[in-house]
């Protein structure tokens, strides 16, 4: 009887942190990013807190036009909904953040980001809270009627030409989407630390990665290179190396023990463990 494999866990929040930093990279000199900002007591943590260091500077990015001094983000992965309870958790975090910091209420903004359509949440906010909600740009819903500036972002609707990092943070990417990410990273942000982001894309879109092996060898090799994997496994020109890469990545995603993988594919434990370490490394 085959061994039961544990379902893989994708670290979407680390990937989102990578993505939002890339989206706002041109403003990195005036923004300070904090991942999982700790509030007063466990387990209250803000997914991402972005501090705008210079109030007088205008940010023209579509997802950041509402920014003030302290910008609180709640992220929901592709399997989660931007629900009503999740909204009030975000709202509660904003109130708690205000209560423990010497800042003005008017200096806080709230942003909820997710892949799924927030129709139910928007209806609730309109009918129960009396908020006015307008889609100010594709995928960006501005919420008016509260002391806090609020926006809801449906990431899959964001324009690819302006928000490639957030729009691509999903589990249904096609080959073209993955190759575009690789191309942009190579040409624009070659030194960017987006290990968690790439790992999430590989893990969540493994079917597409397999297609890349079968249909587009160059793109597959670029993906392996982008993940900074083991040289012996990613060596270009070796058909067996490409095939082995796919199989080992697949088994690692399923959390098959390293020793079992090495035995399964007649390779060394050290090589498989190096590959596992490279894949699991998070962004600095």
pLDDT tens digits, one per residue of 94-143: 999 999 899 999 999 999 999 999 999 999 999 999 999 999 999 999 99
Q: What is the pLDDT of residue 232?
A: 47
- The neighbour count for residue 241, using CB atoms within 10 Å, is 17
- Counted residue by residue, the chain has a size of 284
**What are the structure tokens assigned to 221, written together?**
């090799």
The residue that leads in pLDDT, 206 or 20, is 20
Q: Which of 278, 218, 219 is nearest to 248 (CA)?
A: 278
- Counting residues of the chain whose pLDDT is more than 90, the rounded percentage is 49
Question: How high does pLDDT run on average in the chain?
Answer: 82
Instruction: Report whether 144 contacts 89 (CB < 8 A).
Output: no
Nearest to 252 by CA among 226, 225, 233: 233
Q: What is the structure's pLDDT at 279?
A: 56
Structure tokens at 67: 């920014």
Tokens found for residue 64: 């950041």
* Closest-CA residue to 49 (of 22, 20, 7): 20
- Give the pLDDT score at 17: 92
Q: DSSP string of the chain? A: -PPPPPPP---HHHHHHHHHHHHTGGGTTTEEEEEEEE-SSTT-EEEEEEEES-TT-----TTSTT--SEEEEEEE-TTS---HHHHHHHHHHHHHHHHHSS--GGGEEEEEEESS--HHHHHHHHHHH--EEEEEETTEEEEESSSS-EEEEEGGGS-TTT-HHHHT-SS---HHHHHHHHHHHHHH-TT---HHHHHHHHHHTHHHHHHHHHH-HHHHHHHHHHTT--HHHH-TT-HHHHHHHHHHHHHHHTT--HHHHHHHTT--HHHHHHHHHHHHPPP-
Name the one residue in this structure whose structure tokens are 């009503």.
Answer: 84
Residues 6+ apart with CB under 8 A from 196: 11, 14, 15, 17, 18, 282, 283
Residue ranges of domains in the chain, CATH in brackets:
12-157 (3.40.1350), 171-280 (no CATH)
User: Considering the entire predicted model, what is its pTM?
Assistant: 0.76
Q: Tens digits of per-residue pLDDT, 231-281?
A: 444 444 444 555 566 677 767 766 788 899 888 888 888 878 877 765 554
Q: Are strands 108-114 and 150-154 parallel, antiparallel or unpaired?
A: parallel
Show the tokens assigned to 54. Answer: 């210079």
Angle, nearest 10°, between helix axes 206-215 and 217-226? Answer: 130
pLDDT attached to residue 175: 79
């Amino acid at each position: 009887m085959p061994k039961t494999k544990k379902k893989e866990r994708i670290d979407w929040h680390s990937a989102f942190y990578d993505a939002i930093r890339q989206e706002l990279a041109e403003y990195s000199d005036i923004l300070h990013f904090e991942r999982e900002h700790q509030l007063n007591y466990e387990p209250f943590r803000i997914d991402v807190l972005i501090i705008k260091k210079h109030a007088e500077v205008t940010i023209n990015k579509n997802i950041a036009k509402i920014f003030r001094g302290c910008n609180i983000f709640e992220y929901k992965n592709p399997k989660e909904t931007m629900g009503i309870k999740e909204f009030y958790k975000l709202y509660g975090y904003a109130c708690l953040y205000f209560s423990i910091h010497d800042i003005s209420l008017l200096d806080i903004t709230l942003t909820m980001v997710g892949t799924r359509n927030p129709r139910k949440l928007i209806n609730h906010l309109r009918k129960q809270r009396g908020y006015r909600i307008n889609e100010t740009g594709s995928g960006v819903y501005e919420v008016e009627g509260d002391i806090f500036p609020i926006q809801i972002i449906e990431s899959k609707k964001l324009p690819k030409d302006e928000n490639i990092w957030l729009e691509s943070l999903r589990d249904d990417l096609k080959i073209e989407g993955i190759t575009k990410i690789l191309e942009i990273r190579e040409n624009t942000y070659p030194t960017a630390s987006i290990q968690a982001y790439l790992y999430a894309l590989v893990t969540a879109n493994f079917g597409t990665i397999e297609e890349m092996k079968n249909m587009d060898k160059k793109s597959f090799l670029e993906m392996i290179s982008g993940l900074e994997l083991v040289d012996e496994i990613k060596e270009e020109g070796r058909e067996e190396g490409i095939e082995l890469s796919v199989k080992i990545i697949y088994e690692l995603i399923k959390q098959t023990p390293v020793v079992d993988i090495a035995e399964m594919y007649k390779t060394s434990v050290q090589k498989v463990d190096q590959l596992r370490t490279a894949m699991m490394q998070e962004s600095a």
